Amino acid sequence: MSEISTRTIKKFYTLLFSGKISDSEKTLEYIRKKLGEENPYYNALYGIYYSYVNDDVDSYIFKLWERYLNGVDKKTLYDEVNRLIDQSYNPPTDFLKAWLD
């Protein structure tokens, strides 16, 4: 992500979550041009954008946003996302075994 500044990413999120969809889309397009359409970071941002603009109330980003609006602080949400990422690198063996069996 070295080609995209933190400021640009924050701009994207701010525009998106403040309802300025067309402006957030322009910022996302800028990011796509810089990173490329196959870049995983861009794809994650696009997924967040897509879920949000299509009112996917079952999406993880919607649930996070809803919890934030209901008073859960950013640090708590950040810690939960990090925990989920850590768990994805070390999934429960029995869970995987059930899928493989």
How far is Cα 13 from Cα 16, in angstroms, rounded to an integer?
Answer: 5
- How much is the mean pLDDT over the chain? 89
Q: How confident is the model at residue 2 (pLDDT cuts 50, 70, 90)?
A: low
Helix (H, G, I), strand (E, B) or coil at 99: helix
User: pLDDT, tens digit, for every residue of 61-87?
Assistant: 888 888 988 999 989 999 998 888 888
Quote the pLDDT of residue 39. 94
How far is Cα 76 from Cα 94, in angstroms, rounded to an integer?
Answer: 28
How far is Cα 74 from Cα 89, in angstroms, rounded to an integer?
Answer: 23
pLDDT tops 90 at residue 6: yes
Model's pTM, two decimal places? 0.72
Contact criterion met (CB below 8 Å) for 3 and 11:
no
pLDDT tops 90 at residue 98: no
- How many residues appear in the chain? 101
Q: What single letter denotes the amino acid at residue 56? A: D
